[in-house]
């Protein structure tokens, strides 16, 4: 992307978009939870042309029409979200710190050879911080919830036993 | 402003800002109404740094804290609004047509030597169009209202009698 495109998209993301890192309950995952990275843009359905333009430029993600009359463009996945944030970060103003934090967390996840419960809990605490930056009202899945979940099942949350987890 | 700054601000305006052209009741104006051009940005108070950055770049306008916890940055006035829209228009995507329409209306107002009731009514109809682009729910002051007002007072709305009006 050329500079003016990156600057425009950074401005649009600062004004109207969201960067999310979330802990998502997934019964099909070995550790019961997934860390989900996403970038989301909303517009009224009648303005969804801009979302199609963004998808054309950012190349990944999907558009959908929600029941409340909004159109939503969502990009999900560590590699793709990190790639986009790396491109936009120099131009971001409002969400610069969030973008840097997301990149750092994704880097840690990508670099770990094996995801243990201990690692997952450490990452979940970083994800909690992220949620606070986003002014999320209520985080149903936070690191405390994850810790309780780990305690309720067979393995010990503070151990570093080798438990692999499916990554996005 | 350099290109990346203009592109960023255009993206931010497309995502989160508003361009307004409005008919405003002003008892101290000879024709009883003013046409008001403005550009407005909102943010939560804790994010008002971006508004201060925008004011630094756009050089005009004022910031205020609203009672609802939002901060607002407003730029008012034909010359200033037109100047900013001229700079941003090439980079705008969502609000490009609105920007062009606002520039055209302001041009017409600036070029008229004398504002008559007939001229004011013609401009008010353009301003109505603008309001529809903005999805304004209810326009208390529209061209119909202005026509009624003109009919209720001494002068004839279809005449071109010389009535000067204070411009912004």
Q: What is the pLDDT along chain A (168 residues), one digit of tens a residue?
A: 999 999 999 999 999 899 999 888 888 877 788 889 999 998 888 888 999 999 999 999 999 999 898 999 999 999 999 999 999 999 999 999 999 999 999 999 999 888 888 888 888 888 888 877 776 655 567 878 777 777 777 654 554 444 444 444
Distance from CA of A58 to the nearest CA of B (A): 15
Q: Write down the pLDDT at residue A167.
A: 42
What is the pTM (predicted TM-score) of this model?
A: 0.83
Q: Write down the pLDDT at residue B127.
A: 85
Interface list for chain A against chain B, based on CB atoms closer than 8 Å: 3-17, 43-44, 47, 49-50, 53, 91, 93-94, 135
Domains of chain B, by residue range, sit at 3-112
DSSP label at residue A23 = E
**Rounded to 5°, angle at Cα A21 from A153 and A79:** 105
Inter-chain residue contact B15 with A17, CB threshold 8 Å: yes
Taking contacts as CB-CB distances below 8 angstroms, the residues of chain B near A10 are 8, 11
Name the residue of chain B whose CA is nearest to A91's CA.
B8
Q: Which helix (H) or strand (E) holds B102?
A: helix B96-111
Inter-chain residue contact B8 with A5, CB threshold 8 Å: no
Question: Which fold, B3-112?
Answer: Endonuclease I-creI (3.10.28)
CB-nearest partner of B4 from A7, A14, A135: A7
Distance from CA of B8 to the nearest CA of A (A): 4
Q: Write down the pLDDT at residue A24.
A: 84
pLDDT, tens digit only, all 168 positions of chain B: 999 999 999 999 999 899 999 888 888 877 788 889 999 998 888 888 999 999 999 999 999 999 898 999 999 999 999 999 999 999 999 999 999 999 999 999 999 888 888 888 888 888 888 877 776 655 567 878 877 777 777 654 554 444 444 444
CB-nearest partner of B94 from A5, A47, A135: A47
C-alpha torsion sign, points B42, B47, B48, B52: negative
Regarding the domain with residue range A3-113, which homologous superfamily does it belong to in the CATH classification?
Homing endonucleases (3.10.28.10)
Q: Write down the pLDDT at residue B135.
A: 63
Helix, strand, coil percentages for chain B (3-state, nearest 5): 50, 20, 30
Q: How far is CA B104 from CA A143, B23, B37, B79, B152, in A?
A: 55, 16, 12, 12, 30
Structure confidence by residue, pLDDT tens digits, B141-166: 787 887 777 777 765 455 444 444 44
What ipTM does this complex have?
0.82
Burial category of A150 from C-beta neighbours within 10 Å (exposed 0-12, middle 13-18, buried 19 and up)? buried
The helix/strand/coil state of B124 is: helix
Contact B41, B13 (CB under 8 A): yes
Inter-chain residue contact A3 with B4, CB threshold 8 Å: yes
């Amino acid at each position: 992307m050329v500079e003016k495109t990156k600057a425009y998209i950074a401005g649009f993301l600062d004004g109207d978009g969201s960067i999310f890192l979330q802990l998502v309950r997934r019964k099909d995952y070995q550790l019961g939870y997934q860390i989900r990275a996403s970038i989301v843009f909303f517009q009224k359905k009648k303005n969804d042309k801009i979302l199609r333009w963004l998808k054309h430029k950012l190349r990944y993600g999907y558009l959908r029409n929600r029941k409340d009359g909004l159109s939503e463009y969502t990009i999900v996945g560590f590699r793709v979200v990190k790639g986009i944030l790396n491109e936009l970060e120099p131009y971001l103003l409002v969400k610069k710190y969030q973008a840097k934090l997301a990149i750092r967390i994704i880097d840690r996840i990508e670099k770990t050879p094996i995801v243990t419960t201990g690692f997952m809990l450490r990452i979940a605490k970083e994800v909690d911080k992220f949620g606070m930056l986003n002014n999320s009202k209520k985080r149903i899945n936070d690191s405390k919830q994850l810790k309780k979940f780990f305690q309720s099942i067979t393995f010990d949350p503070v151990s570093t036993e080798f438990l692999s987890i499916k990554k996005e």
